[in-house]
Structure 1
Amino acid sequence: MTKNISKEIPKEKRFLIMVILLTGVFFTLLNETLLNLAIPVLVNEMDAAPSTVQWVVTGYMLIMGVFIPVSSLMIQWFTTRQLFIGSLVLFSVGSLVSGLAAALPYLFIGRFFQAMGTALLLPLMMHTLLMLYPAKKRGTVMGFIGLVIMVAPAIGPPLSGVILDFLNWRWLFFMMLPLIFLVLISSIFVLDNVTTVTRPKIDIRSILFSIFGFGGIVFGLSFAGDESVSWLNPSVYISLCVGLVCLSGFVWRQLKSVTPMLEMRTFRHPMFSLAALLLFIGMMTQFSTIILLPFLFENALGVSTVAAGLILLPGAIINGAISPFIGRIFDKFGPKILVIPGMILLVIGLQLFIKVNTATSILMFILLYTLVMIAIAMIIMPAQTNGLNQLPAKYYSHGTAIFNTLQQIAGATGIAFYVTMMSVGQNLYPSTSGIIGGAGRYSRCRDTVCF
């Protein structure tokens, strides 16, 4: 069925399937950042330490990092409809459990199910759309994927700020249920099975290597991303060492296997390997700026949390809005015309951040951040699409799983590395009161972002 699937399904039906997939992913990714502003509220209501409550956000990334690599196996074991509907059901159960949570452990359980549903849904969406559309149309399709992936997490914090002003934090979860239910019902009538179920042999050792390998790395990096934790903390270096050892075992086992869980031979395609590198750099930059710029706005400029989120919103929306147009340019002219100028723009944008100071206007920050987001839009999706186009169809599920896993690792790496740099800067600019303290905090935040 894979060989002519883009011709077997009518154009109108393909479009409806794409809308269903993108809508489902939009709501699940929205939830990834929806709790960011609710942390102080949860600290008070759950009577827990901020560092503990923070794991309702960090743990989401950890679970996604663990389950995304397994998605390539799931795609081969279940039909498109079964996996999509199952993922939404998992996410809905997680939303309900989280909304009803009377204690923090129940909230963690709910977030676990939400993250598991999202981890399966992301690679499934990309794999299905690769099967539905021929190579000459994939730039536009990946542009729409870029729109969803950028805009959904970006509007999470401002939206949660508005909701928390009028409603209880539990509505951050309850409001998702009717929306997901509508997508679920629509998928039953619209979604077709476009993937081939081969049911390869399940390699338990590969799954265990994957869980402890990717999980250990993301956990260690996420822990290191906490300002109060040193890289010499046993929780950090033991997790990273276990992760690296297990990941090495995982890669070795995949290369030896006839039917690997995650096909490492995809990296034999040079354009795929280059795309993976560009994706890692782009996602490191994106995640680190999303985390560090609010530090700069709140701690150095005295801007409120909600206002800091709103400052970043235009850049994220413009990034998403231009993604479909960038996709069309890719379909006509290829990746070079986008990726190379995008890298140049990214360097220029980050260099311009060096020039800012405490007198810089909010408008200038919005413009600079927007420039960086435009550059990232020109790099990530074109490189990703070009890399996936080089793979044979049998590797699509593996390629999408690898890219989505790299996004989680890159995000955790970017946050951990740059927060560490900023913490080191605190030794140079102690947090004293007054103008000197503000300038010091501002300088270390700014220099870390520019690095």
Structure 2
Amino acid sequence: MNMTTTSSTSSKVDLSTIRQKPIIIALMLGAMVALLNETLLGNALTVLMREFDVTASTIQWLSTAYMLVVGVLVPITALLQQWLTTRQMFLTAMFTFLVGTLIAGVAPTFSVLLIGRIVQAIATGLISPLLMNTILIICPPEKRGATMGLIALVMMSAPAIGPTLSGIIVDSIGWRWLFYLVIPIAIISILIGMQYLQNVSEITRPKVDYISILLSTLGFGGIVYSFSSSGDLGWSDPEVYVTLMIGVIALVIFVVRQLKIDHPILDLRAFKFPMFILSVGLIFIVMMSLFSTMTLLPMFLQMVLLVTAFKSGLIMLPGSIISGIMGPVAGILFDKLSPKIIIIPGIGLVAFAMWLFSGINAETTLTQIILMHSVLMVGLMFVMTAQTYGLNQLTPELYPHGTAIFNTLSQVAGAIGTAIFISKMTTGTTKYMESSENPMEPVEKLNGLTSGFQGAFTLGLVFIIVALVVSFFLKGQKKKVKATQLLEN
């Protein structure tokens, strides 16, 4: 039975009166603080374990729950953007984020802190797709690359500088300031949004299929949860493989249902465009590499090179700064050149960096790691233009669904990639130690860890090579006539 709500309301928007800059500034500030919080607790987890007297597996829920909520909520944003105005959705997201941040900042117990993080994640799940969809509407295709480059700066740089900032803040003024310091930015974003934000999307209020929402929640939530939990519990744990099976089954039913009902919450007609499919595949692989490297590299620095958490954050800061500079540059070049000229060299740089990382050991200098990480981040900035390329293939009515697909799969890619790479690192270390004649020797333990990290980065290189092969099938920008004809089929 299809449980639905209907409305015939539809509002056309006059984009000629839209003031682009204030809208973009408000949305980017909101997205920056929201995405920054996804990794901001990275170097504070040990401190929080002592503060609340909880175990490592318990404290990880501060990250796992955040990723889980975002992964569940993003698919529904395509529907929400057809029911709520841009202003309503943005202010709802930012006020929600502000409330979550306040709850987390004053949290007297771990449970209250976790609730605050979940409320923050709800806001993140709303704001990221809203930002991308708004840019697609208000910016003409020939100028989208530069604007999307700014978005890439936010989406890639904000999570990347999180560990560095958390190390500085926790060591100097305490973990609660991780939340207090972002409150002024959130308030400024809200004030700008209240003053300048206008609605840019057409409000159609389509039917709401609640069964699809339930299936989406079970599907994406089950998959993200299972992969996120596998690192601590292992794949043999029923909690992991049962939730994975539930997630996969629910997702299959969800896909079938979206193709059959008249008003899907996630319009899968976007996958009728071959270049959109290729772009999604590229971004999926790239996000796996990004999230995994953000996890593996600090671990290598702290476990093998024995640097502090604060210092490991500083080591990764130059790459983050460089990526922030190169994001807009890549976007501008994307507007002027063929997508292949931007994306393929970008993947080549990522592959080169991964090849270098696959050979790291205890003798690798910090300068070498900074350079390798910087090359990786520059390459990723160029590859991220594939997202703009993919969305450009779609017609306007599919923009919310295309952005929801990209954002959802980015969260899924992060969970899957982190689980796969950490598992590879662990099994590589175990295999080396089992074959060692003196497994109790400190040097051998170090060699075992090094072997595990090398194996994980080698696996990353394999994934990137696959992406490189896929990138050669990319074509020029889509022709609107052909795209329209394809949608009508």
Does TM-score exceed 0.5, indicating one fold?
Answer: yes
In the TM superposition, residue 6 of structure 1 has moved relative to its aligned partner by: 5.0
Q: In 1, distance between residues paired with 2:191 and 2:339?
A: 37
The residue aligned with 1:428 is 431
Deviates more, 1:205-214 or 1:353-362: 353-362
Q: In 2, distance between residues paired with 1:5 and 1:332?
A: 28
Q: In 1, distance between residues paired with 2:169 and 2:199?
A: 37
The residue aligned with 1:285 is 289
Query: 2:326 aligned to 322, 334, 346, which one?
Result: 322
| Structure 1 pair 37–142 and aligned structure 2 pair: CA distance change class (3 A) | same
The residue aligned with 1:393 is 396
SS for the counterpart of 2:38 is helix
The reply on whether 1:309 has 2:317 as its aligned counterpart is no
In the TM superposition, residue 245 of structure 1 has moved relative to its aligned partner by: 0.4
The residue aligned with 1:349 is 353
**What amino acid does structure 2 have at the position aligned with 1:280?**
F
Question: Would you say the 8 A contact 2:13–2:201 is kept in 1?
Answer: no
Q: In 1, distance between residues paired with 2:129 and 2:14?
A: 18
In the TM superposition, residue 33 of structure 1 has moved relative to its aligned partner by: 1.1
Q: In 2, distance between residues paired with 1:41 and 1:353?
A: 29
The residue aligned with 1:231 is 235
Query: 2:375 aligned to 367, 371, 374, which one?
Result: 371
The reply on whether 1:300 has 2:304 as its aligned counterpart is yes
Deviates more, 1:43-52 or 1:123-132: 43-52
| Structure 1 pair 16–243 and aligned structure 2 pair: CA distance change class (3 A) | same
Q: In 1, distance between residues paired with 2:206 and 2:311?
A: 50
The residue aligned with 1:114 is 120
Query: 1:208 aligned to 200, 214, 217, which one?
Result: 214
User: RMSD over aligned Cα, in angstroms?
Assistant: 1.5
Query: 1:96 aligned to 91, 102, 122, which one?
Result: 102
**What amino acid does structure 1 have at the position aligned with 2:419?**
A
Query: 2:446 aligned to 438, 446, 449, which one?
Result: 438
Q: In 1, distance between residues paired with 2:358 and 2:453?
A: 11
4+ residue segments displaced more than 4 Å = 1-6
SS for the counterpart of 2:235 is coil
**What amino acid does structure 1 have at the position aligned with 2:340?**
K
The alignment of Structure 1 onto Structure 2 pairs a total of residues equal to 445
Q: In 1, distance between residues paired with 2:115 and 2:299?
A: 29
**What amino acid does structure 2 have at the position aligned with 1:366?**
I
The reply on whether 1:47 has 2:53 as its aligned counterpart is yes
Q: Residue deviations 1:234-276, cap 9 Å, x none?
A: 1110011000000011111111111110011100101110010
Q: In 1, distance between residues paired with 2:431 and 2:60?
A: 27
Question: Would you say the 8 A contact 1:5–1:131 is kept in 2?
Answer: no
Q: In 2, distance between residues paired with 1:399 and 1:121?
A: 15
SS for the counterpart of 1:330 is helix
Structure 1: give runs of 5+ residues left out of the alignment.
Answer: none
Q: In 1, distance between residues paired with 2:300 and 2:457?
A: 9
Q: In 2, distance between residues paired with 1:379 and 1:182?
A: 31
Question: Would you say the 8 A contact 1:80–1:195 is kept in 2?
Answer: yes
**What amino acid does structure 2 have at the position aligned with 1:220?**
S
The residue aligned with 2:474 is none
In the TM superposition, residue 230 of structure 1 has moved relative to its aligned partner by: 1.4
In the TM superposition, residue 352 of structure 1 has moved relative to its aligned partner by: 2.1
Deviates more, 1:136-145 or 1:92-101: 92-101
The reply on whether 1:262 has 2:266 as its aligned counterpart is yes
| Structure 1 pair 28–187 and aligned structure 2 pair: CA distance change class (3 A) | same
Question: Would you say the 8 A contact 2:164–2:316 is kept in 1?
Answer: no
The residue aligned with 1:74 is 80
Query: 2:63 aligned to 57, 74, 83, which one?
Result: 57
In the TM superposition, residue 2 of structure 1 has moved relative to its aligned partner by: 9.3
Question: Would you say the 8 A contact 1:29–1:153 is kept in 2?
Answer: yes
Q: In 2, distance between residues paired with 1:433 and 1:106?
A: 43
| Structure 1 pair 432–73 and aligned structure 2 pair: CA distance change class (3 A) | farther
Question: Would you say the 8 A contact 1:422–1:445 is kept in 2?
Answer: yes
In the TM superposition, residue 140 of structure 1 has moved relative to its aligned partner by: 0.4
The residue aligned with 1:410 is 413
Question: Would you say the 8 A contact 1:299–1:442 is kept in 2?
Answer: no
Q: In 2, distance between residues paired with 1:408 and 1:171?
A: 26
In the TM superposition, residue 356 of structure 1 has moved relative to its aligned partner by: 3.2
In the TM superposition, residue 157 of structure 1 has moved relative to its aligned partner by: 1.4
Query: 1:360 aligned to 346, 364, 374, which one?
Result: 364
Question: Would you say the 8 A contact 1:319–1:370 is kept in 2?
Answer: yes
Q: In 1, distance between residues paired with 2:322 and 2:420?
A: 27
The residue aligned with 1:170 is 176
In the TM superposition, residue 434 of structure 1 has moved relative to its aligned partner by: 2.1
Query: 1:450 aligned to 419, 438, 458, which one?
Result: 458
Query: 1:340 aligned to 344, 354, 362, which one?
Result: 344
The reply on whether 1:125 has 2:128 as its aligned counterpart is no
In the TM superposition, residue 341 of structure 1 has moved relative to its aligned partner by: 1.4
**What amino acid does structure 2 have at the position aligned with 1:435?**
V
The residue aligned with 2:254 is 250
Structure 2: give runs of 5+ residues left out of the alignment.
Answer: 1-9, 434-438, 460-489
In the TM superposition, residue 232 of structure 1 has moved relative to its aligned partner by: 1.3
The residue aligned with 2:465 is none
Q: In 1, distance between residues paired with 2:440 and 2:22?
A: 57
Question: Would you say the 8 A contact 2:11–2:203 is kept in 1?
Answer: no
**What amino acid does structure 2 have at the position aligned with 1:74?**
L
In the TM superposition, residue 5 of structure 1 has moved relative to its aligned partner by: 5.2
Q: In 1, distance between residues paired with 2:14 and 2:329?
A: 25
**What amino acid does structure 2 have at the position aligned with 1:234?**
P
Query: 1:196 aligned to 197, 202, 217, which one?
Result: 202
**What amino acid does structure 2 have at the position aligned with 1:340?**
I
The residue aligned with 2:480 is none
The reply on whether 1:276 has 2:280 as its aligned counterpart is yes
Q: In 2, distance between residues paired with 1:313 and 1:211?
A: 35
Q: In 1, distance between residues paired with 2:231 and 2:16?
A: 47
The reply on whether 1:16 has 2:22 as its aligned counterpart is yes
